Each structure stands twice: as C-alpha cells, then as structure tokens.
Amino acid sequence: MENQTLVKEICPTTTQTWVKDGALLVDVREVDEVAQLSYDVPNLLHIPLINFEERFSEIPKDKPVVMVCKSGGRSLRATGFLVNHGYENVVNMQHGIIRWVQKGFPTKGDTTTVLGNDDGCCSSSSCC
C-alpha cells in the first residue's frame, strides 16, 4: 500500500483567520457560479476545476492557501491534487461558500443562489 497524505480541512471561521493573516483563497467553481456570487477577500484566485490541472502552477507554494468552492467537494479534490504535487501549506475549507454565506462573511453578488441549499446541519450557534 502506498503512502497517502491526508488533506487538512478548516471551517469558514478558521478561514477568516487565515485570510486576515494573508492566505490566498483559490476558488475552483465555474465562471458562471463566481459571476453570481463570489468571496469578498483581498487575496483571491479563480481557477475553475475544469482548468485546474493546466493552471495549478499559478498557485504559489510559498504562502498559505485555502481551497474553496460551493459546498467543499470540488475544492477537496483540488486540495488533494495540490498535496500530491508537493504543496504543503494548503487546506480545504469545509462546506464552501454555502456556510460562508450562512455565517455572514463577506461576499459580492446574490447570496440567494446558495441560501436555499441549507441542509440544516449547522443551525446551532456552536457550529464553526
């Protein structure tokens, strides 16, 4: 059995701390999704998952990187890809922009595109 490196994941609240400390958010959603609603953070790079293998080298290896998408699945795959290509300071943000919006974190665009997708798993204030 070959060695596998586990992908690290953080929640949107922790992501806020990473962003304040200068981390780069890499959004792997499609162009139309980003046009409707995007993260409003200072360091943001958009690389749609469909183009990720050709463009991942645009992501710096020398700074913290948080991978993001709509619900956390596509960004998890992209994070694993980066880990397998030598990136060490990269994490996936769980629950994506859906939870980001639910927590009231900064966005640009129409938040109703994701608010209807609440799965109810985080209705308590104790959730990250």
DSSP state of 97: H
Domain at 54, CATH number: 3.40.250.10
Q: Are the C-beta atoms of residues 66 and 26 closer than 8 Å to each other?
A: yes
Is residue 93 included in any domain, yes or no? Answer: yes
**pLDDT for 5:** 60
Is residue 121 included in any domain, yes or no? Answer: no
| Cα–Cα distance measured from residue 45 to residue 73, given in angstroms and rounded to the nearest whole number | 18
Q: How many domains does the chain have?
A: 1
Tens digits of residue pLDDT in 61-88: 999 999 999 999 999 999 999 999 999 9
Is residue 51 included in any domain, yes or no? Answer: yes
Is residue 53 included in any domain, yes or no? Answer: yes
Catalytic residues: 69
**Contact residues for 53 (Cβ-Cβ < 8 A; gap 6+):** 81
Is residue 123 included in any domain, yes or no? Answer: no
pLDDT under 70: residue ranges of the chain: 1-5, 116-128
Query: Which residue's entry shows tokens 């974190």?
Result: 105
**pLDDT for 6:** 83
